[in-house]
Structure 1
């Protein structure tokens, strides 16, 4: 397979032509993107960087660039969920306006085996308003309030579990998306649902927004926006086959919906954490399989594949490996961010690299920035350091693209560097 170049600019004229009439049943149209609009965040991050060559280069771009273009190096992770409810129409549109050339729909299935965009099959209780609707009674685990002792100490955390497979597609479409969060101390549904971290916002989670989408609807929206598509087949939490619906049926249905929409395989980067899904696509749908993405859910460096494992992936026909960001980065003796051994081994094996996900870790200057920075956290001291991370991933590791919860940051860097 010829691995695509790290960046491919989509002309604004073609993007305008791609923006068409309203999707059926949505009630409003995909906006015509006259130009990429990055907003203030990337420029705030540039100014927050430590003084040095990279900051001066990026500052020069910030001063001289008049127009920014869509870039496939910038991948909208669940859309733009730093501020918009993930996997909603509004989140996807925001990602496209910020220059993401590829946008993700995580794919789960409903009770009637229809495909919908959700990060997990069992996250409706944290990503939608289901608990505040009559559909709450259909949840696998209805809401159970937090329990406190007489002294006010928390004894049992609040909990619930609501699955896409608990409800039909028609029922799913009645829900509204909200920011993915919950409050384990909640004694009421309202308290449980009000857990949004302070670095995010509920400003775009009102009763007239948070529009949920089917997988097929996401395809039509992305087609109109002129972006490429990266659906992730989510690992089911129910035993498979589900009512006769096998894992292979599930993997095939995902591809079939692109074929039905007339989307060529070159516009689709199908993903899965299950290697068997990727191997199925390679075997049964080779046009789609040649750029299918094998996601890696390693939690620590010890969990990463060895050099031999990575060579074996390539021998099986896998062309793109997508580990978390920390897996591709390390620190040298001078505390500089450099490519990890896994990154070097993957490139030596001939694998293309995509990585996930930036701008999910809150305020970086607070330190202790979570799993995404675990191998380099000692070198992360301020918000602008995210641009240093992007620079090493792009220039030294050589990734094809970066998932981000706020695509404008990666889009800015990609435009500035040209790659």
Structure 2
């Protein structure tokens, strides 16, 4: 079957305006990352470097670029539906502020210990949310993505699963703020497992990982499903569920051998920020790699690190390119391939990429086609 089987650019010519490549998808095929010994490439919120995050257009782009898995962050609606948003607040990634009919939904809430005033998914039904349109969350660094503002609705988990099944890729859902949603009587675990089961994702052999920055919901999920679970490790702080319970352990404790041993009792891997693998100094330059990858492997844990982005703003100083005084330097593309190649050679089992094509290209350079 020809690579160019159909064009999926959200049905819009805006892609050409933005100077992006045409999005094309093959028919269903095994995910490339299922090949033995090759790290997986996870389309972080889809191909969020090229399309507004958590839209079907972003997920399609990630699939076209060769991502092995697509990642929907999940939050809950008022009527108990799981939808793909980075967080449960809406103003920074949708046009909710342009909808006068929802002006009275603006609230001040405390989510995971942080107070903010915004519109929140749990105050909307799915039908109401579907009247909103997605927007680029960081327009200052990704101005090209803004041409797609207002074109895509918020996708449901089922739509993402359907897309993944249709094209033979894996899914990598993240439960966002699970303790917070539990406190509202909107448990995430049961509807997530039910949806995965409906689409045939229900065993360790299936191309699915469930991830969370919290620990309690992963331990609950372990009782509900056989799919693989990943404990996310933030660069600082502590899992919010542990904080709520007065447990003094932090993420720094979880990357120690005792913490990894505990994680291995309920999860199949860890998702650490790249700084736990290669620390950076105050100038942003890389230091000596840690033993985390080796230590995790000794406990039978896979290591999927995050997040590799193309822009200088997000890269270690060692891989930034261009004149720092030049306009647009922060948003300019650096040597993302070099950074990815370093991570691959350090033995990671997967990488979250905003531009999956970079992850696939670097993997080919390191491991061959």
Match of 1:259 among 194, 197, 204: 197
| 1:110/1:166 contact within 8 Å kept | yes
**TM-score (norm. length: structure 1):** 0.66
Q: Where do 5+ consecutive residues of structure 2 fail to align?
A: 13-22, 35-39, 109-115, 239-249, 322-332
Does structure 1 residue 168 correspond to structure 2 residue 125? yes
Does structure 1 residue 215 correspond to structure 2 residue 164? no
CA distance in 2, matches of 1:417, 1:379: 19
CA distance in 2, matches of 1:238, 1:337: 36
In the TM superposition, residue 268 of structure 1 has moved relative to its aligned partner by 1.2
CA distance in 2, matches of 1:132, 1:113: 25
Q: Per the alignment, do residues 263 and 76 of structure 1 end up closer, same or farther by CA in structure 2, a change over 3 Å counting?
A: same
In the TM superposition, residue 336 of structure 1 has moved relative to its aligned partner by 7.0
Equivalent residue, structure 2, for 1:404? 353
CA distance in 2, matches of 1:206, 1:318: 37
Question: Deviations along 1:333-369, whole A, 9 cap, x unmatched?
Answer: xx87653133333233332100111116x3x2xxxx4
Question: Deviations along 1:29-62, whole A, 9 cap, x unmatched?
Answer: xx86249xxxxxxxxxxxxxxxxxxxxxxxxxxx
Equivalent residue, structure 1, for 2:43? 76
Match of 1:225 among 167, 179, 184: 167
Does structure 1 residue 271 correspond to structure 2 residue 221? no
Match of 2:276 among 327, 336, 355: 327
Question: C-alpha root-mean-square deviation of aligned residues, in Å?
Answer: 3.3
SS at the partner of 1:292?
Answer: strand
Mapping for residues 87-102 of structure 1, pairs under 5 Å: 87-102=54-69
In the TM superposition, residue 173 of structure 1 has moved relative to its aligned partner by 0.9
Equivalent residue, structure 1, for 2:301? 351
Match of 1:127 among 68, 93, 97: 93
| 2:24/2:64 contact within 8 Å kept | no
Point out the structure with max Rg over C-alpha: 1
Question: Deviations along 1:277-319, whole A, 9 cap, x unmatched?
Answer: 111122222x21xx211111232798523222112222x1322
Q: Per the alignment, do residues 307 and 91 of structure 1 end up closer, same or farther by CA in structure 2, a change over 3 Å counting?
A: same
Question: Deviations along 1:12-31, whole A, 9 cap, x unmatched?
Answer: 89x99xx99x9xxx999xx8
SS at the partner of 2:91?
Answer: helix
Equivalent residue, structure 1, for 2:341? 391
Comparing 255-264 and 406-415, the one that deviates more: 255-264
In the TM superposition, residue 258 of structure 1 has moved relative to its aligned partner by 1.1
CA distance in 1, matches of 2:26, 2:159: 22
Equivalent residue, structure 1, for 2:364? 415
Question: Deviations along 1:374-400, whole A, 9 cap, x unmatched?
Answer: xxx45344255422321222122x111
Equivalent residue, structure 2, for 1:108? 75
Q: Where do 5+ consecutive residues of structure 1 fail to align?
A: 1-11, 36-68, 143-158, 182-195
